Structure 1
Amino acid sequence: MSEDAPELGALPLDARVRLEALRYASGEEAATYIAIMRLFTGEIAGLLSDQSATEIATKLTEQGFEIDTDTVDDRLSYLVEHGNLARSPRETEARSLREYLQNRARYQLTQRGEMVHRFVEELLGHTDTAREVSTEMLGGILAGLTELARLDEAAIASADPDELARAIGTLFAQFERLVSSTRDFYTYLSQVLVRYDLDRDEFQAFKTVLLDYLQRFVDEIGRHMPQLSDVLVRVEPRVPALCARANSGARLQGVDGSVARRTQGLDPADWTGLHAWFVGGAGRDSDAAGVRRLATDAMRALLVNLRRIAGGRREQSRYGDLLTLARWFDTADDDTAHALWAAAFGLYSCRHLAFAADDDADPVPATASWWRTPSADVPVALRRHGARTIRGRSGRRDDYSEAKAARIAERERAERDRAAALAEIARHRGDLGTIRLSDRSRAVLLDLYSRAMVGNGRPLGDGATATTEVTAAGWRLVVRRTPGEGTVVTSPAGRLEMCDLTLSVEPISQEVAPGEETG
């Protein structure tokens, strides 16, 4: 491979150039660069203005920065090279050569520079504290989706584009607020749960305040999720028409003739994230359901801390003790600090003591310095391998053959039971209607039904089907959406009635009807 060839997984050149715009905030002169960028982004009037190095130097001096004009000009040129600023094309008017040299270059803010500095200010103002989840947005999202679901094709065609764009934009702004606040909340929660330095008081406050709030949030998600999933399924077929109508109004065009980017949600592709959050997709659960699973994980982590505080054998942190000791050192005078050091760590001042060896065979006392004594006789095995040889008979190997045979026999019985259950189901060819099965066959039938629905990835619409194949037996289970009709399965365990769903057993060789999906 040549030296100029890009490495596998390396960022493309345009991406690396864009990331250069972040450099000014992490260097040694970051304070100066941030102060300069604040002069361009601090007020709304500064966004369309240009400023010279002399003007910037004057404003920096008023803020307490001792920096000359030439250095300011170098800083501005650096920001221009990395895409944060651009040189202004406006010509300057000068009454003298000195004024022309001072104002010959003027600078203005770029779109990339404004976006990067906005992120920098947000990061500088961020604090590692808990942020509430915006659960109030769930009601707004549901109301917005319900209003959009009421629009049929005629109503969409006659709707005002700006009103429709406003409704969609509001819906996605609420969704973005909900998602971002949920991420921030769980990030903070993970930082607290992994701490091993929580004392009893902190643990009690954390349990009663934070986790009670977490439970309310999970309950709120569980209450709204079925309704949101239902209305999203109804709105989904009309999303292209809604976006097309919302984009039919007056649009801003760039200097190159391309249409400017609009608010999130006005592109049909933006609805994929909304659908994935509340409904899910083929082979995956919804993100809202994942939020509820994370709450269960938080409860488990809380129990780990509870067992540690209760005096279990898990690792314990001395974080709180070390902070207390540090406070004692901070308030102690010199003599007290030495005494505290000796008492805490057992490190006293040096005392060289010696006495004669009791063993004539070993004339070197144990207190002699190893600098002046001969090398100790260390066994080769200990010196080279770091371990002493353990003599004696090795233990007998455990025999697991009986346990393995029991597990194999258990597996064979389970396979025979499943094969018998599949054979019992296969005897009912065609629509199942009202059938009676054994409890074992009923459990296998429900397992096949769940596989078909998970493979379909979404609720069945009218006339839609979902299937799952039993390849070894040569047949498949077909689930059809049939309003007004259903399937009834009775067994010794009870009676199961599926409303508006018809189950049928069909050979695999039969052609799949249009609209069917194989699970």
Structure 2
Amino acid sequence: MRLFSFATAEKRTDYLWVLRAFDSARAAYVVLLHADDVAEWINRNGGRPQAARVESDGQSEVARLTGTEIGPLLDQLHQWGVLERSYDGTRAATLAEYRNRHYVYQLTQAGFQAYRAVAGVLESRLDEASLSRLVLPELLADLHALAEANRAADAERVYRTLRRLDATLTDMAARAAHFYLSLGDMVRTTEITPESFLAHKDALLAHMRDFSMDLARFAPRLAAAIEEIEETGAEDLVERAAKCDERVLLSLAERQADWRIRWHGLRTWFVAVAAESGESSSTETDRLREATMSAIAAVLSLLRRVTETRRGGVSRESALRHLAGWFTAAPTTDSAHALYDAVFGLGKPRHLALEHPDAELIPSARSWWEAPPLEISRTLAETGRPPAAGAPARIQRNDAGIRRLREAQLDAQRARAEAAKSLAAADVHQRVLDERETEVLLRLLDAASTAWVPVSGRVDGTTGSDSGVTLTVSQHSGSTVVRTARGLLHLNNRKLDVRQTTRSRATAGKPEARGGRA
């Protein structure tokens, strides 16, 4: 925390200008700076830590800084560990200057990270929040390129592609988190006006809808691309990336462990991980799509409230105006106080009688107006009861309830997986689906319908995946019917095909192979 002292110091603006000079020099591949160099950069770029001075003709002029004024700032930054100081004797032109030490400074690695953290906060714009749906085609192309490079044993290309994938996915996750956080603040806040919300609601809804549709369309293809990479050897991929990693201060084993964690994180974004009990967990893509649908519902709910408010003429602003009118029309001061207590629910403060531990220093007969404040315990302030010494209360944990909820969740996942497996076992158009199979089919149709996007005036087949199976909706001449336990499902010029995914079929075949060897 000592590195961030420059951000809260009295001359924090001066320190920021000094560090900006070092950052600018670092970008130009200049590492060492003298105090005169820092002062020259600040004066050249219009930085002004000090106040402007007024000349005799009445016009103000910015006073130029000198290295003497910058020197104490550099020494203080050196004491905080932000700058590293070294001696430079080449600047001495005379013997007197040689005896007077000349220091040059450079940013330490930790100091540079501290400055970039503060500069990032100062330069960030909280209203720049968006979902990066355009990176999904790039992710798919990079995954195919990574599979090809790993198959060809091209280690350098594997490292470059895997590093680019990691950076792209990290940026996508950060942008999504920022977007949903900003959207939640907008939904909960009372500062936004109905006019500004109505002006941007169409663009906001279209942005989230396009992102959800692209995410549903690309998710199965990204999962298939990752499975293609794993068929070429995931462990070989990690080893090749670690060998080309240029972090020489880390051992080969540490680099392999780091890239193995990164690959596992990238894989869990698009491929469900099968647990020991047999069910598959949700992917990060599924959670992101659910968050998008929830955000759309929240925006629509807010739109309905805004519309009803504008239609009825009653809003927070109109209510506060009426309340202000009541206060103005109050006949007496006591009536205004009574109205205040009734509206805001604030009662009179509770007074506590407590003696000072040192009765000679603060006698009990002294008035409250004259006595200094006395520290009291939180229990006495909140409940009015004096604190009692004793053992801390036992934490109440409902382990049995948590266990029952977890078991019920696992049973539901298991039942859904079994229903999905039964659904993919035969043609859905040739039999009657039971209740569980109907529920899985409707979930698959919901996932596939979000990716139904017209391309060049026509609609190609689309897919939706859930619980280890994939539904393919393809074109078909005429109408088709699916008989379910809830009735008949008519599809116009569409045909449904449900199959198990490649990974699910491979997982299902492993126990039989082990049994055969036994």
TM-score normalised over the length of structure 2: 0.55
The answer to whether residue 207 in structure 2 is matched with residue 213 in structure 1 is: yes
Structure 2 counterpart SS, 1:180: helix
The Cα of 1:300 is off from its aligned counterpart by 3.4
- 1:73 aligns with 71
Q: 2:131 and 2:257 mapped to 1: Cα distance? A: 22
User: For the Cα contact (< 8 Å) 1:169–1:266, is it kept in 2?
Assistant: no
Query: 1:268 maps to which residue?
Result: 260
What is the CA distance between 1:37 and its match in structure 2? 0.6
Give CA deviations for 1:418-476 in whole Å, capped at 9, x if unaligned: 9xxx9xx9xxxxxx989xxxx9995579999xxxxxxxx9959xxxxxxxxxxxxxxxx
Task: Spell out, residue by residue over 1:380-433, the C-alpha distance to the aligned partner (whole angstroms, 9 max, x if none).
Answer: xx999xxxxxxxxxxxxxxxxxxxxxxxxxxxxxx9xx9xxx9xx9xxxxxx98
Q: Is the 8 A contact 2:82 2:107 kept in 1?
A: yes
Per-residue CA deviations over 1:172-221 (Å, capped at 9, x if unaligned) read 33323322222222222122111234444223223211112111111111
Shift of 1:515: 6.9
Tell me by how many angstroms 1:86 deviates: 1.0
Distance in 1 between residues matched to 2:425 and 2:42, nearest whole Å: 83
Partner of 1:239: 234
Indicate yes or no: 2:248 matched with 1:253: yes
Q: Displacement of 1:28 after TM fit? A: 2.6
Q: Which residue of the other structure, out of 176, 179, 182, is the alignment partner of 1:182?
A: 176
Q: 1:47 to 1:445 in 2, by over 3 A?
A: same
Amino acid at match of 2:48: G
Query: How far, CA to CA, are the matches of 1:99 and 1:260 in structure 2?
Result: 52
Q: 139, 163, 167: which one pairs with 1:173?
A: 167
2:299 paired residue number: 302
CA offset digits 1:71-116 (Å, max 9, x no partner): 6333323322333211236554523354246543221112222223
AA aligned opposite 1:108 = Q
CA distance in 2, matches of 1:294, 1:180: 14
- Computing the radius of gyration over CA atoms, which structure comes out larger, 1 or 2? 1
Q: Which residue of 285, 290, 294 corresponds with 1:293?
A: 290
1:49 aligns with 2:49: no
Residues 39 and 133 (structure 1 numbering): CA distance in 2 closer, same or farther, change over 3 Å?
Answer: same
Question: Do 2:438 and 2:484's aligned partners in 1 also have CA atoms closer than 8 Å?
Answer: no
Distance 2:78 2:129 in 1: 37
Aligned counterpart, 2:138? 140
What's the RMSD between the two structures over aligned residues? 5.1
Residues 494 and 73 of structure 1: CA distance in aligned 2, closer, same or farther (over 3 Å): same
Q: CA, structure 1 residues 150+65, in 2 after alignment: closer, same or farther (shift >3 Å)?
A: closer
Distance (whole Å) between structure 1 residues aligned to residue 135 and residue 293 of structure 2:
23
Alignment-mate amino acid for residue 275 of structure 1: R
Q: How far 1:228 moved relative to its partner?
A: 0.7
- The CA deviation at 1:41 is 0.7
Q: Relative to total residues, which structure has the larger helix share, 1 or 2?
A: 2
| Structure 2 residues without counterparts, runs of 5 or longer | 51-64, 336-347, 351-407, 419-423, 441-465, 470-482, 489-495, 502-509
- Cα deviation for residue 494 of structure 1 reads 8.9
Counterpart CA distance in 2 for 1:306 and 1:244 is 52
Q: Could you say what secondary structure the match of 2:316 adopts?
A: coil
- Alignment partner for residue 94 of structure 2, among 93, 96, 100? 96
Do the aligned residues in 2 keep the contact of 1:87 with 1:106 (CA within 8 Å)?
Answer: yes
Specify the alignment match of 2:393 in structure 1: none
Moved more, 183-192 or 90-99: 90-99
Please give the residue correspondences for 1:108-119 in structure 2 after superposition, counting only pairs within 5 Å: 108-119=106-117
Distance in 2 of aligned mates of 1:260 and 1:97: 54
Counterpart contact for 1:197–1:320, Cα < 8 Å? no
Kindly indicate whether the alpha-carbon contact (under 8 Å) linking 1:251 and 1:260 is maintained by their aligned counterparts in 2. no
Q: Percent of pairs identical after alignment?
A: 22
CA distance in 2, matches of 1:228, 1:165: 19
Alignment of 1:357-506 (within 5 A): 443=435, 499=499
Using the alignment, how far apart are the partners of 1:442 and 1:169 within structure 2? 47
Distance 1:78 1:315, change over 3 A: farther
Per-residue deviation at 1:272? 2.0
Hey, what's the Cα distance between the residues in 2 that align with 1:198 and 1:494?
47
Counterpart of 1:34 in structure 2 is 16
2:317 matched to which residue of 1?
A: 318
Whichever residue aligns with residue 33 of structure 1, its letter is: Y
What letter matches 2:287 in structure 1?
A: G
2: CA distance, partners of 1:265 / 1:179: 22
CA contact (8 A) 2:438 2:485 kept: no
The 8 Å contact of residues 84 and 112 in structure 1, kept in 2 or not, is answered as yes
The corresponding residue for 1:203 is 197
Aligned to 1:162: 156
Q: Matched residue pairs, number?
A: 355
Q: Which residue of 2 aligns with 1:85?
A: 83
Gaps of 5+ in 1: 1-18, 323-341, 353-365, 368-381, 385-414, 426-431, 449-456, 461-489, 502-510
Q: 2:124 aligns to what SS in structure 1?
A: coil
Q: Which amino acid aligns with 1:294?
A: A
CA distance in 2, matches of 1:320, 1:49: 61
Question: What residue number does 1:463 align with?
Answer: none
When residues 279 and 173 of structure 1 are mapped into structure 2, their CA distance, relative to the original with a 3 A threshold, is same
Q: Secondary structure at the match of 2:84?
A: strand
Q: 1:81 to 1:313 in 2, by over 3 A?
A: farther
CA contact (8 A) 2:159 2:245 kept: no
In structure 2, the CA distance between the partners of 1:515 and 1:114, relative to structure 1 (3 Å rule), is: farther
Contact 1:48-1:108 within 8 A present in 2 as well: no
1:194 to 185, 188, 194: 188
Matching residue of 2:3? 21
- Amino acid paired to 1:77: D
**Structure 1 counterpart of 2:472:** none
Matched-pair contact (CA < 8 Å) for 1:35–1:60 = yes
- What residue number does 1:11 align with? none
Once residues 101 and 115 of structure 1 are traced to their aligned partners in structure 2, the CA distance between those partners, rounded to angstroms, is 35
Match of 2:328 among 346, 351, 357: 346
